[in-house]
Structure 1
């Protein structure tokens, strides 16, 4: 008796196979999928390999599909309007992002594994690059499967809404002023588990607003809803906003820029943070 022949079936855009994902993303059409299936049957190769041999997709397309299958989504250049500096989204396998993942691992061991859920990312000077670093760090935490919230607590010159192509709206300042609630938190749909709470309306009294008792209650609420909450704050050189946020988060990651930030300044900021009752979890130098 002859053994039954295994015939590849047409992928559906609703399934999670390589063919299904390629159909859903518009990389191939149902008509071209039939051509792929014929080659797949004739040569006994995988669907993705057949599609690539036919010139319908590239190796980059295959890597992106595999990332989605393993819940590790990332974007291709031009696919979204996010900042090009969001390397964790566009170049997740680059050396820079490998270093970010190393930082993430250290933070998981030193801080989040201890049951802590919030961390403030603090820079000394305005040009040290902490905001973009915090954005990329939030992305790699979400890629790990952690339900991650990035909070723009820079109530002087917020920037995270532009990084993630979000319209300015109600955010942290409005919640602290009693004019909004946590409904202001926005999911970033391009990622599995990443949300953003923007800065909101720019207040005339950012330091006083961040020092309100309402911030402690809000932080507790955000921690209850997320595995990791990262706060980006105004540079320490512009005021003591960072101390107020650090006191709520409990922990701080200091960010400096190589050949730019003075070690003495980092030590000074670290000492003031410790005096505020927060813990300096670590420090990173951005080579930029």
Structure 2
């Protein structure tokens, strides 16, 4: 007896047929349209009104063993394009960046490092990029942790819809003993450490030895650790975080950041132990 086929071994037509409970006559209608117009099964089913774009997307996600956001998540977390629109131009750009990063970051011949995402100003897209990079890393397998180290205007808890009653600031100030790292439902292997309550002394907290010790502990427990940071315009937080992480990537927004601000940020890293892995221009 043959073993049942895995989901990712099944044709997309079978997945759409089962999801929409298509009859044999409807399947034949789709196949006839497909042959006549030279299109894919999914495109034919959509054209005939027998499937929706979401049906096709879900089938593709199953076929390629790719996590996809639920309908509830799509409404709640529209910024997570790697989950909402995994085959979009934006998601593909994140995956391309991931590929470039993984060739330079945590190579076998180097000590393991965390990665700080830094940028000159607010609204550059650090939170968006860090969140989607973390999702894309988790989609490779293994364990990925996203840390919201922006202790001035944090947003990762909003993006992932997790509690922010305790987090990084709580750990660094010794004010929590509870579990503050939260698993993200629907994305196997992805965890988020939110910022926690806004402290009055954010820079002092991350300058403490405890922060460096925490980063090293997290790096030992997760395959990838990504840190979102405060905008460099608000202080030296980003440079300090990058130095504790050991690796950083700079993000700039097209038509928004000044070249001198970007140069100052990169120059600030020169005196730290952080390895600059590259720079990204956010065009979205």
TM-score range, shorter chain: 0.7 to 0.9
Contact in 2 for aligned 1:81/1:164 (Cα 8 Å)? no
- Match of 1:184? 180
Asked if structure 1 preserves the Cα contact closer than 8 Å seen for 2:113 and 2:247, the reply is no
Equivalent residue for 1:112, pick from 106, 110, 126: 106
Tell whether the 8 Å contact from 2:17 to 2:27 is kept in structure 1 after alignment.
no
1:189-228 C-alpha deviation (Å, 9 max, x unpaired) = 1212211100001111110111111112211221122111
In 1, Cα distance between equivalents of 2:226 and 2:17 = 36
Displacement of 1:116 = 2.9
1:134 alignment partner, one of 104, 119, 130: 130
Contact 1:71 1:192 in 2 (8 A): no
Cα distance between partner residues in 2 of 1:160 and 1:111: 23
User: Partner residue of 2:190?
Assistant: 194
| Counterparts of 1:265 and 1:185, CA distance in 2 | 33
Report the 3-state secondary structure (helix = DSSP H, G, I; strand = E; otherwise coil) of the residue aligned with 2:76.
Answer: coil
Instruction: Report the Cα distance in structure 2 between the residues aligned to 1:23 and 1:204, rounded to whole angstroms.
Output: 57
User: How has the CA–CA distance of structure 1 residues 181 and 284 changed in structure 2, closer, same or farther, with 3 Å as cutoff?
Assistant: farther
Partner of 1:60: 54
- For 2:159 and 2:212, how far apart are their aligned partners in 1? 27
1:286 aligns with 2:267: no
Matching residue within 230, 239, 242 for 1:243: 239
CA apart distance, 1:229 = 0.6
The answer as to 2:221 corresponding to 1:225 is yes
5+ unaligned residues in a row in structure 2: which ranges?
32-40
Check the 8 A contact 2:170/2:197 in 1, yes or no: yes
Which residue, 84, 87, 106 being the options, matches 1:90? Answer: 84
114-123 or 94-103, larger mean C-alpha shift: 114-123
Residue of structure 1 in register with 2:37 after alignment? none
For residues 27 and 13 of structure 2, the distance between their equivalents in structure 1, rounded to whole angstroms, comes to: 14
Give the root-mean-square deviation of aligned CA atoms.
Answer: 3.4
Which residue in the other structure is 2:36 paired with? none
TM-score (norm 1): 0.80
1:162 counterpart (154, 158, 165): 158
Q: Does the 8 A contact of 1:81 with 1:165 survive in 2?
A: no
TM-score, normalised via structure 2 length: 0.81
SS in 2 for 1:203: coil
Deviation per CA, 1:21-45, whole angstroms, max 9, x where unpaired? 8899xx56xxxx5x65x669999x9
**Alignment partners' CA distance in 2, 1:145 and 1:66:** 18
Paired residues for 1:74-89 under 5 Å: 74-75=68-69, 79-89=73-83
**Structure 1 unaligned regions, length at least 5:** 1-5, 10-14
Distance in 1 (alpha carbons) for counterparts of 2:260 and 2:28: 68
Contact 1:120 1:246 in 2 (8 A): yes
Contact map agreement 1:233 1:245 (CA 8 A) in 2: yes
C-alpha distance 112-21 of structure 1, shift in aligned 2 (>3 A): farther
1:111-147: CA deviations, max 9, x gaps? 1324534100001011212111111111111122242
